Structure 1
Amino acid sequence: MEDVTREMPLQPGGAGAPTPRPGPWKRLGQGAIVIGVGVAAFVLLFGMRAEPAEVDPPRVIPTVSTVPARVTQGAITVRGGGTVRPSAEVTIAPQVGGRVVWASPALVSGGRFLEDEPLLRVDPADYENAVEAAEADVAQREVALLEAEENARLALDEWKRLAARENLDPTPPNALVTRQPQLDAAKAALRSAAARLEDTRLALQRTWIRAPFNGIVRDETVDLGQFVSVGQAIGHLYATDEVEIVVPMSDNEAALIERLWSARAGEPETRIPVDITSEYGGADYLWSGYVDRAEGDLDEQTRTVDVVVRVPAPFAPMEDEPRRPPLLIGSYATVDIEGTSFEQYAIVPASAVRDGDVVWTVRDDTLLAMTPVEPIQEVDDLAMVLGAIADGTPVIVSSLAFVTDGMTVLPVQILESAQPPEADVGTASPGETGTPEGVGS
């Protein structure tokens, strides 16, 4: 019997039928359900979280660096500085013209001369001849004067004899009778000739060009055999007996020098003592000087007053310091002038003065105090101030981002070697003058 297998069609939903794929809208719905369940779970977990415990942050006390204040009394030091310049400088120029026949070997830049020492000489031949001619003219005028005097005497005698014979008035009627005008003319001619003789002798003397004072040659532009004319500049010479230092000062600094405006140039009784310091070869050297005067106008550009300090004998060596160099022209020098005396003032680091009139100090070992002060003067890294600051009071020199009066700080004193040098500002008794202790050492 033939086995015949027939293919029967599959019925929907029957065994072995494939699962139909869901549509797109159905998939979107399923995804939304999953997201919603996740969000609900997150909200539930977030709402059930434990609150963190509140903990106060640790209190930080700032550490500050301090330097003890130094309280003293007496005259303060007003410090300034300026460039050394000559007190006198002249242009070397001949008063007569001619060829240079002699020049001093020292007539070079840097050469030194004493007052009235010869620098050079112009050929004197023409001037010597002029002197001889003038002397001869004087001799002729003297003879002419003798003749005029004799003629006048004879004319007067003749008139007197005539007056006696004719019984006339013995007094001559006019000067022509006694030849007085001729006599006066002879005398005038002699004086004129004598004056010309003096001129020629003076011109002969001026063939020698001499130093007008003790000085040093700055430069020269003349050689032996060169022809020079009257008034021609052949060099420059500056004085060495004294030099000047022009120190510009603000009006506040100038006000600290009590007798500044009483100083008069050339009057020793009005001089104010000054100590001068200048560096040479890495070492500081000292000179003594005085305030000669203060210029009477305020500089329009810098708004400063120029105080003129003079230094005597700047090129002379010292017996106790033979290696000291001269105070060279053009070098920079620091001057310390005795200023006003105060019964009490404090010396603090200049960096400790805040906003111009406040110093941070430490009281009760840990509390910051904003102490108002009145600045007097600042010298290098130190400031002199008036205020309620006791000797040894810790003064804060470090910076703080936030500061309040009475805040707690941890002071740390700077080592002594790190403090500003005290030698720059000395202590003087009222009325005491001289160099502040340690300046220039």
Structure 2
Amino acid sequence: MTDKSVEAPQNPKRRWLWIGLALALLVAIVLLLFDTEDTIDVRATTTAPPPPVVSVVTVVPQTVRARISAFAEVRPRWDAELRSAISGRIIAIHEAALAGAKVDRGDPLFSIESAPYESAVAAAAMEHEQAKLALLRAQNNVTVARRQFDRDGVEPPNDLALNLPQLRIAEKTVAAAEARLNAVRTELAQADVVAPFSGFVTQRFASLGQTVAPGDALVHLSDDRQFELVAEFSQADWALLNHPISGAKAELIHRTGVPLGEAQVRHGGGFLDQNTRQVRLFLDVASPDGRVLAGDFLKVRLLGRQIADTLTLPESTLSRAGYVWLIGDNDQLHRISPDILFRNEGTITISAPEGTGPWRVAKTPLASFLPGQRVTPRSDEG
């Protein structure tokens, strides 16, 4: 069967017509987009932008008393690891020897078996008595010899005739026996180990029944009655203090800013620390009230000498580059490299620049500040 339907050929003119219409539509859309595109209105002006607003503090030169501070660790004056002085078995450990115990001077800590030392004391005492008896005999022999020569009316030919060498030997024998007796008595006394000073037992090393030898560690004892601190200052800060410094009082301040009392300067100066090249100051804290604890890290602050022509500024006035920015009478900026004398409680004290005050200082300088730049100062004394 033959398919009689024949597809009608496309009209080339109509196809080109549709292509032309599509191109025309595309061009129209592009023109419309360019015509409706947002533009930025630019207006030419000859008015300069206003100067930036700067918070300033106004200060005048004044005479201040230097306040020098440094941090130091609180250390007990006496801090010892008590060791056995004799050999023997530990037969008793007292409550005061337990770790954490608070002891007073003379409190018993350990008892070491003392029988061998009691025997040594008895033997030494007997030797001492024998030596004294020999001395009495030697003295008697000298007396008899002298009387004999006196009766005969002649002079003794030498010391030997009077038994004087034997007397001197007997005297030295007594002295040696007495020293030996004192030595063994000391050893016997060391069988009872007592606290040499008041403090806290921070660690115990020996146990009940243990046999110890001379030099073996027993306990570690830390003083709680007297503390000391070693503070270090730069040579520039050291020059700001009143000298001589010995006997001066120093404030002790906790890291939180709470005052904890005073310390007294014992010694200071005379040499530099080999590692830090700073001057060391030694202070004492006698009879602490419980707020000052060994091992704490405290601020030590001392009053120094009077310094004239200074400016005291907030620390924020010092830029990262180390400059202080001043605002002149024409509201223009100029910078100085300050001579910082000391710092105290969020402030810096510097030498006043040349000229007469008062001075207006930028409270919070910006990194974009330039010398000669005009600003709008705003007073901020807070």
TM category (shorter chain) comes to 0.7 to 0.9
Q: Secondary structure at the match of 1:141?
A: helix
Change beyond 3 A, Cα 1:375–1:179: closer
Q: Which amino acid aligns with 2:252?
A: I
Query: What does residue 10 of structure 2 align with?
Result: none
Change beyond 3 A, Cα 1:288–1:298: same
Q: Which runs of 5+ in 1 are unaligned?
A: 1-51, 164-168, 264-269, 318-324, 417-441
Hey, what's the Cα distance between the residues in 2 that align with 1:143 and 1:233?
Answer: 43
2:251 to 275, 283, 293: 275
Cα drift, residue 299 of structure 1 = 4.0
Q: Deviations over 1:148-175 (max 9, x none)?
A: 33333333333444x2xxxxx5211223
Conservation of the 8 A alpha-carbon contact between 2:250 and 2:262: yes
Cα drift, residue 371 of structure 1 = 5.4
Conservation of the 8 A alpha-carbon contact between 1:287 and 1:311: no
Change beyond 3 A, Cα 1:132–1:69: same
1:309 to 283, 291, 302: 283
1:107 to 74, 79, 97: 97
Q: Deviations over 1:355-375 (max 9, x none)?
A: 877522334484435456432
Change beyond 3 A, Cα 1:190–1:344: same
Hey, what's the Cα distance between the residues in 2 that align with 1:395 and 1:54?
Answer: 33
* Matching of residues 74-223 of structure 1 within 5 Å: 74-161=64-151, 163=152, 169-223=153-207
Alignment TM-score, normalising by the size of structure 2: 0.77
Q: Deviations over 1:51-108 (max 9, x none)?
A: x985325423111122343755331111111222223322211222212233331223
* Matching of residues 340-351 of structure 1 within 5 Å: 340-351=305-316
Conservation of the 8 A alpha-carbon contact between 1:101 and 1:122: yes
Conservation of the 8 A alpha-carbon contact between 1:75 and 1:339: yes
Conservation of the 8 A alpha-carbon contact between 2:314 and 2:363: no
User: Runs of at least 4 residues of structure 1 off by over 6 A?
Assistant: none
* Matching of residues 15-414 of structure 1 within 5 Å: 55-69=45-59, 72-161=62-151, 163=152, 169-259=153-243, 262-263=244-245, 270-279=246-255, 284-294=258-268, 296-314=270-288, 316-317=289-290, 325=291, 327-354=292-319, 358-364=323-329, 366-370=331-335, 373-388=338-353, 390=357, 393-405=360-372, 407-414=373-380
Q: Deviations over 1:208-265 (max 9, x none)?
A: 2233333322322012222221122223223333222222322222222232xx34xx
Q: Deviations over 1:322-361 (max 9, x none)?
A: xxx3x22222111111122113422112231348775223
Hey, what's the Cα distance between the residues in 1 that align with 2:266 and 2:315?
Answer: 30
Conservation of the 8 A alpha-carbon contact between 2:56 and 2:361: yes
Q: Secondary structure at the match of 2:97?
A: coil
Change beyond 3 A, Cα 1:171–1:289: same
Cα drift, residue 390 of structure 1 = 4.0
Hey, what's the Cα distance between the residues in 2 that align with 1:170 and 1:107?
Answer: 71
Cα drift, residue 140 of structure 1 = 2.1
Q: Deviations over 1:250-305 (max 9, x none)?
A: 2222222232xx34xxxxxx2221101124xx672412012323354434544433
Identity %: 24
Hey, what's the Cα distance between the residues in 1 that align with 2:101 and 2:269?
Answer: 32
Conservation of the 8 A alpha-carbon contact between 2:76 and 2:222: yes
Larger Rg: 1
Hey, what's the Cα distance between the residues in 1 that align with 2:317 and 2:201?
Answer: 49
Conservation of the 8 A alpha-carbon contact between 2:73 and 2:297: yes
Aligned length: 339
Alignment TM-score, normalising by the size of structure 1: 0.68
Change beyond 3 A, Cα 1:231–1:53: closer
Hey, what's the Cα distance between the residues in 2 that align with 1:194 and 1:390?
Answer: 83
Hey, what's the Cα distance between the residues in 1 that align with 2:212 and 2:309?
Answer: 66
Q: Which runs of 5+ in 2 are unaligned?
A: 1-41
